[in-house]
Chain A
Amino acid sequence: MAHINVPDGVPGIRSLVMFRPETGQHLYALAEVLLRGDSTLTQAERELMAAYVSRRNECVFCSSSHAAAARCLYGEGDATVDDVLNDLDASNISPKLKSLLQIAGKVQILGKEVKQDDIDVARGLGATDKEIHDTVLIAASFSMFNRYVDGLASLTPTNPEEYKEMGKRMVQGYVLPPNNS
């Protein structure tokens, strides 16, 4: 049971933004610009960052749904998402993306954990200012979303099929659900 009176049977953040669309519209707008807006990081890479940070925050709803969206974007049969979530160091992704995910992991702990060395490594592997900025802001944003979703104890589905469907919908974009659905 959620801590507050959100619509029955609606999962995760969806139930919270339906409870309070005044704030929800801006939360969805932020997710849309961060994860779907113009960037030299692919949408798949950005969804992977969202899933990675959410997993580290142990937010089952956000990590499962963003992992599903990332799997959709990487394509059927691609093991990148699960490899990264299982063991970032051993995963077979580009060194640049790995260095950015390492920065995201530090941000998840606390802003102060990110050191000049972490930035130098990413930059040495070709990361731009904008990519470093977007990585930090995605990680910071999911440190917010995860706390919002779990702090109010919103409904977390346990059926993997539900997340698969959610992932497909998320790939289409982050659109505020109608108030009365």
Chain B
Amino acid sequence: MPYIKLESHLPGITGLLEYSKDTAQPIRDLTQVLLRGPSSLSEAERELIATVVSHGNQCVFCTTAHTAAADLLAGESETAACVKTDIETAPVSEKMKALLTIAKQTRESGKSVTEDSITRAKVAGATDIEIHDTVLIAALFCLYNRYVDGLGTSLPENEEYYGVLADRIVYHGYTRLPQGYDHLKGNNR
């Protein structure tokens, strides 16, 4: 049971964003720019950053949802599974390894990001904007993970829910559905 009264058909973050729409708006807008806006990092790569951070923060809802989104975007599930286990041996570029390491350090604390890991990313070809966006995506998921778990939100009763959610955030994005979410009542628990 969530710690505050949320709509029962909306698990995880989805109920919180409907509970408080005035705070949801800038959070949705920020996420849309960072994860779906113009970027030299692919959408799949940005979802991997979200996945690694959510996994490190032990947030089951966000980890499962963003793993599903990363898998859908990449067309395979090996990469996301590997980065959660060990960044260095995962099948990603040297630049992504460096950026995922920065994300992991940001998750611990802003102060944990080292000069060495920034230098490694720059040597591997990362631009200032890519480094900026990596740190901000990691920081944003430190917000999401704490919001979702700090209010004790519920997990979906059915694993298939994550597939539906991944489909929405890949093909629609992070903005609110124009029709709202009432159509999910009864069939998405």
Asked if A19 is at the interface (CB within 8 A of a chain B CB), the reply is yes
Which B residues touch A111, using CB under 8 A? 57, 59, 145-150
Taking a contact as CB atoms under 8 Å apart, the answer to whether B149 and A26 are in contact is no
A:124-140 near B, CB below 8 Å: 129-130, 132-134, 136-137, 139-140
The interface residues of chain B lying within 8 Å CB-to-CB of A119 are: 3, 152
Contact B30–A107 (Cβ < 8 Å):
no
Instruction: Annotate A56-88 by CB proximity to B: 1 below 8 A, 0 otherwise.
Output: 011100000000000000000000000000000
A89-97, A146-154, A159-167: which lies at the B interface?
A: A146-154
Chain B: minimal CB distance from A148 (Å): 4
Name the residue on B nearest A152 (C-beta).
Answer: B135
Q: Tell me, rounded to whole Å, the shortest Cβ–Cβ distance linking A130 to chain B.
A: 8
Interface of B: prevailing SS: helix
**Which residue of B is nearest A16, CB measured?**
B132
Using A4-B132, A137-B20 as known contacts, say yes or no to A57 and B110 having CB atoms under 8 A apart. yes
Interface size class of B (residues with CB under 8 A): 35 or more
Query: Among B21-29, B81-89, B90-98, B156-164, which stretch is in contact with chain A?
Result: B21-29
Q: What residues of chain A lie closer than 8 Å to B111, measured between beta carbons?
A: 58, 150
A5 to B133, CA, bound (A): 13
Chain A interface size band reads 35 or more
Once the chains bind, are B3 and A114 in contact (CB under 8 Å)? Answer: yes
Is A175 close to B, CB under 8 A?
no
Complex contact A110–B132 (CB within 8 A)? no
CA distance A33 to B131 in the complex (A): 27
Q: Nearest residue in B to A118 (C-beta to C-beta)?
A: B3
| Candidates B26, B129, B139, B144; contact of A145 at CB < 8 Å | B139
B19 is an interface residue with CB less than 8 A from chain A: yes
- List residues of chain A with CB within 8 A of the CB of B42: none
Measured between beta carbons, the chain B residues less than 8 angstroms from A106 are: 150
Closest 5 CB pairs of A and B: A150-B110, A111-B149, A140-B146, A26-B30, A147-B139
Measured CB to CB, the residues of B under 8 A from A are 3-5, 16, 19-20, 22-23, 25-27, 29-30, 33-34, 37, 57-59, 102, 105-107, 109-111, 113, 115, 118, 128-129, 131-133, 135-136, 138-140, 142-152
- Which residues of A are interface residues toward B (Cβ below 8 A)? 3-5, 16, 19-20, 22-23, 26-27, 29-30, 33-34, 37, 57-59, 103, 106-107, 110-114, 116, 119, 129-130, 132-134, 136-137, 139-141, 143-153
User: 20 more A-B contacts (CB under 8 A) besides A3-B115, A23-B30?
Assistant: A4-B129, A19-B132, A22-B33, A23-B33, A33-B22, A33-B26, A57-B110, A58-B109, A58-B111, A111-B149, A113-B150, A114-B3, A114-B151, A130-B20, A134-B20, A140-B142, A140-B146, A143-B139, A151-B102, A151-B105
